[in-house]
Amino acid sequence: MNEWSRNRKRTILILIFFVLIVLIGLPLFFLFYRTPTCGDGKQNGVETGVDCGGACARLCTAESLPLILKGDPRVLRVANNTFEVVALVENPNSTGEVYRASYTFTLYDAQGTAPIKIIEGETYVPRGMTFALFEGPFSIESGAVPTRAVLEWQEETFNWQKNATKIPELMVRESKLSRLDTNNPRLDAVVENLSLENISNIDLVALLSNKTGSIFAASKTFVDTLPVGGRVPVVFSWPQPFADEAVDIDIIIRIFPDRSFIR
């Protein structure tokens, strides 16, 4: 067989090979190929983890920054054996939020040897802001007086989600304390919606601090819906006189994704 015949035969075999790939290989490929998705239980496509990162709505744990506790949680006496606990928490993730994050407050008395109360809950972690985690009022029937609280997050419940939408703009104005010489001091304020859409499920926590910067009183309220450009008065109240002078008033706003977080 001369060289020309061998080249011709080789060319024919190559053509047959490519025809088989087109007629058999491509159909088989499209039959069994599955486009990578963010819910297939595999790290594929542009994902940086299993079903997270890249184009997925869920952030990988390694891509999220931990929550920052702004000072120690404060245990506050409301009445004789009635208390509440509040903590300021910062989420440094500008586009990452957690719909439901579980946590535990463990309360101790002055001895601090064994817990006198454990409070479990879950909350919404908004993106890129500081929020107030508030529990109470609650009673301690044993007569023990809690003086310290420890906040712990159950990080296995954290499902970080991306949210790059614009944060609604709310403004608190005209904050004013009154009835300080009575058994029912109160704080009045006005909340204004500066956004271009109606806002619902608005949680507000008022924190009063003394001259050393320590929080000595807290209260919370809720606004169901605030229309575009709307203003609504809000009232925070306490059942007994303050034991300290309020030098700073801070009203922390958090917008819940739905009404299931309202307690």
Residue type, 161: Q
Contact 104, 117 (CB under 8 A): no
Q: Tell me how far the alpha carbon of residue 170 is from its chain's centroid.
A: 18
CA distance 67 to 245: 31
Predicted local distance difference test score (pLDDT) of residue 12: 64
Tokens representing 105 are 């407050």
Look up tokens 């054996």; give the residue. Answer: 81
Predicted local distance difference test score (pLDDT) of residue 230: 94
What is the number of other CB atoms lying within 10 angstroms of the CB of residue 22? Answer: 10
Of 178, 172, 116, 122, residue with least CA distance to 149: 116
Q: Which residues contact 236 (CB under 8 A, 6 or more apart)?
A: 186, 187, 189, 204, 206, 219, 220, 221
Q: Which residues contact 188 (CB under 8 A, 6 or more apart)?
A: 174, 175, 176, 178, 233, 234, 235
Beta strands in the chain (DSSP E): 68-69, 74-77, 82-90, 96-108, 117-125, 130-139, 148-154, 160-162, 170-178, 186-193, 199-209, 215-226, 231-237, 248-255
Q: What is the pLDDT along the chain (263 residues), one digit of tens a residue?
A: 556 566 666 666 666 666 556 556 556 555 555 665 675 666 666 556 666 766 677 777 777 899 999 999 999 998 888 999 999 999 999 989 999 999 999 999 988 788 999 999 999 999 999 999 999 899 988 788 999 999 999 999 999 998 888 889 999 998 999 998 888 899 999 999 999 999 999 999 999 999 999 999 999 999 999 999 999 999 999 998 898 999 999 999 999 998 888 77
Helix (H) or strand (E) holding 13: helix 3-20
SS3 of 140, please?
A: coil
